[in-house]
Structure 1
Amino acid sequence: MNSSPEPKLLSWLSIRKRLPLYLAFAATGFSCALPGALMPWLLARWSLQDSEVGLLLGLFFVGGTSGALLSRGSLRWSIFRGTLCTSIGAALLPFASGRTANGAILLFGLGLGITMTSISLLQSRRWTETRPAEMTRLNLLWAIGACTAPWIILHEGIRNTANAKNVLLLLASAFAAFGVWVAAFERDEPRPTPSQAAAGSLKLAGFAAPLSLLVLVLCATGVEASSAGWLATYSQRSGDSLRITIGAPTCFWIGLLTSRLVHSSAAIGRATKRFLLTWNLLAMATALAALILFRNGPVLLSAAFAIGFAAGPIYPLLLALVFEHDSGNTVYVIGGIGSALLPLLTGTVSSRTGSLRMGIAVPCAAAMIMAITGWSVMRMREPALRENVSGDSSSTA
């Protein structure tokens, strides 16, 4: 396991070592943005109700949660299993309909969940000294991949249905090729020793407001998944042009990418954690409220960008916080539950009320809960952080 300090600028050898996993992680970002981008196309093709769309999105993220649970044992072979499931699911989606679509998207999500979790755990074990930076880097690459999906799928799919099918088949081929590469050339990293795992569990149990931290993880992934999954459909129903329908989800992912670029160093600094959580969570709740209250094109695009930008530093920061106490896959399971639950609730509320605007109130309420919970968590942690800072100052003196 490589635990030696890493230079600020990655060496060429280090980049070559990381590059295949980085490319694969960017491909998972592209794939995770696909369901939301595909929904207007699927709604027209299959005449789906909002509750059925919510079920599809929910199944996708249920697959992701199950994948996090199945990321055990050899991480190298876990990545191989994940890429195999992703490849099969992506290949089936263009030809699926009805119940077969439910199975295909569940398998697709399952494969992505296994692949993302296993790559994250592998890199977390491999680069222990720079773990927070590595997690931020992976999430940045994930966002880069996600930015491209809405434009490619919505633009090409609306022009020609065959183009959307070809994109999915090319994606299936790419994941299959990466799986073969992992099986042939990648290597595993040793698991933490039992004593280290026990220490991590004790720290997590003694952590200030651990339930609040889990609530944050649950809501953070849920709000992000619900926003990404429903923005294209919400924009289409607002009566705006194709440009807005494509632009809203694209602005969301661009906002997420821009935010992670801006916060790539600040997100791992202890001095700014309270600011990043409280103010970005408040900004996210405000932008979601604006999305509900004003449905014209410029507001949709601006609110979508603001939601993505506010969400950017939150999940990497929560990952870094959890990994200080637990290097397992618990955080991915909790995050997956949120990702499955909120899109499903959004569709259910929309169908019951006959208004997708009321459905969007679900992630908006979750964002408000996050803002309150995040402020509470960081307020409770502040005395401990001050003790650490004063201890470091006295030791250096």
Structure 2
Amino acid sequence: MSRYNLVPVTNEEESKEFIQLTKTLYKGVKNYVQPIDDDIAHVFDPAKNEFFKHGECTRWILQDAQGKTVGRVAAFIDRNILDVYGQPTGGMGFFECINDQDAAFRLFDACKEWLQVRNIEAMDGPVNFGPRLQWWGLHTEGDQRPVYGMFYHHSYYKTFFEDYGFQVFFKQFNYRTELCEKSLNRIVLLKAKRVYRDKKFHTEFFDKKNIDKYIQDFTTVYNNTWVGEIPGVEEMTVEEVRETFEAMKPLLEERYVIFAYYDNKPVGFFVMVPDANEIIKHVNGKFNLKAKLYFLWYKYFQRDKTVIGQIFGVDRAFQGRGVEAILIEKFSQVIFTGKEKYKYLEFNWIGDFNPRMQHMMEEHLNAKIYKTYITYRYLFDRTKEFKRAEILK
């Protein structure tokens, strides 16, 4: 019998408790950054989260005998990817808990039981009820500040997951490099010159005045790069991409979003944004006037900032033809002028199942692993063979 009371989140007060828990759970932790409250709330709002159109979600808070909230978790189903893994697989995420195994296992059990009632046979976690690039994976190595849209986790969470029976499905690495001439392998520039011998190749910086064109180009490359290549990655619509660009609008800088073309057709992109967590760390979850003033100060006066390689994609039909080299060469035209305020480049999400991207990080950009996240899987049938995510070829 658990010493804790599991409370479904059904009203505004409970929703507030769900969000506010981390403000006490991580109080005084140096590298923790409280996410913007609205960013978390929007995940669970059917009016704001498109995933409710093809999925369902629930969440709980956990309270002790005195009524104090000591844990939280969410469980969800995305019907678009339900059967791509060999068994119907759901998700759990937004897990936070005091250092007590009984409390943690009560939260895990709640997710498992909710999913089993819906004929689900496994759960991945901690993951997002939304895109993979946000709130995905357990932070296990690299005691450093997370980038925007990613969690920082207590070190004892790893023991909870593994003692419960979760197994490593895949790891995600954050790579980091210092932005100086030495951070770029000169062979890349030579490779770019060879690629440009084919005059059909060219690159462009993003232009906000022609945003509709670039939204369409991004959509084309995204769907031609990952959909059908990585299980669980869903096709994006133009409208979904438009919403993503709109959400990033305050951070987008034209010279940090680069597109590659062949015969004027989009074949690659490299999207970078400033790390908003360098601002958000000061505002305790509220994007208010104080946050806006920090943003202006950061944008115009702060040096030694970090820019995030948010997403890097090359159309499958053009992989191995040097498109990544011409994107990096275009990027070097900006970053190595000596006029930029950015000192570090960090890549947020490089899966251990993607050796091509790991090679590019290490050999082309001289980047090193800076943080590690783990996506776990738990099979409800404990006799069934567990398989890790397949390595991309």
| Fold shared by both chains (TM-score > 0.5) | no
Larger Rg: 2
**Structure 1 length as normaliser, TM-score?**
0.24
Q: Name the structure where helix makes up a greater proportion of residues.
A: 1
**Structure 2 length as normaliser, TM-score?**
0.24
Q: Name the structure where strand makes up a greater proportion of residues.
A: 2
